Amino acid sequence: MLILAIGCNSNTSKGFTLIEILVVLFILGISVTLITLNFSSLNSIEKQAKSFEYTFDVLSQESILTGNIVAWYYDSEGEYAAYLFKNNKSKIINNIKISSEIDSLSLKKTFKFNDGITIDLHNSKLDMPLLVFYPSGEVSGGELDIYYTDYIQRIIIKNNGNKINKIINY
């Protein structure tokens, strides 16, 4: 049997030490944690966008099925929908569940109309609708911006009812 100058046997078993295994497990644990956190924030953004899309789809379908003009209102106190009639009367729709699931009402939100006018929804009480859904399937259109700490979520509602969700980084 040959012995090296340092006193070790040259036929040592090949493998990993306990410290090497622990370091690899630690790195894997941190990586999995970071990936999970990123996916959960992406799922939250997607969930909110789908919630708005669902709300807009329901209101569009309600307008088409009933033959009435439907308006969507949103301000610092929340959101609701109402039928609009020709005699400037409106009736709040109670049988439709509107839920846009925005995490916090404290988030700054703005709405930009097609004519370029932008309204801050965070501290306002509006008497006018933001979106109007017509029985023909058309929508008045606009852009809803939701401001987070790192990015802006922009939901664009086209006149034909199509919706586009964008994330804008600062």
Residue 125 has pLDDT above 70, yes or no: yes
The region of weakest confidence among 111-115, 123-127, 130-134 is 123-127
Q: What are phi and psi of 81, to 5 degrees?
A: -125, 155
Higher-scoring residue by pLDDT: 69, 96: 69
Domain 18-169 class in CATH? alpha beta
Mean pLDDT of 12-27: 85
Residue 106 has pLDDT above 80, yes or no: no
Residue 113 has pLDDT above 80, yes or no: yes
pLDDT, tens digit (0-9, with 9 covering 90-100), for 53-62: 788 888 888 9
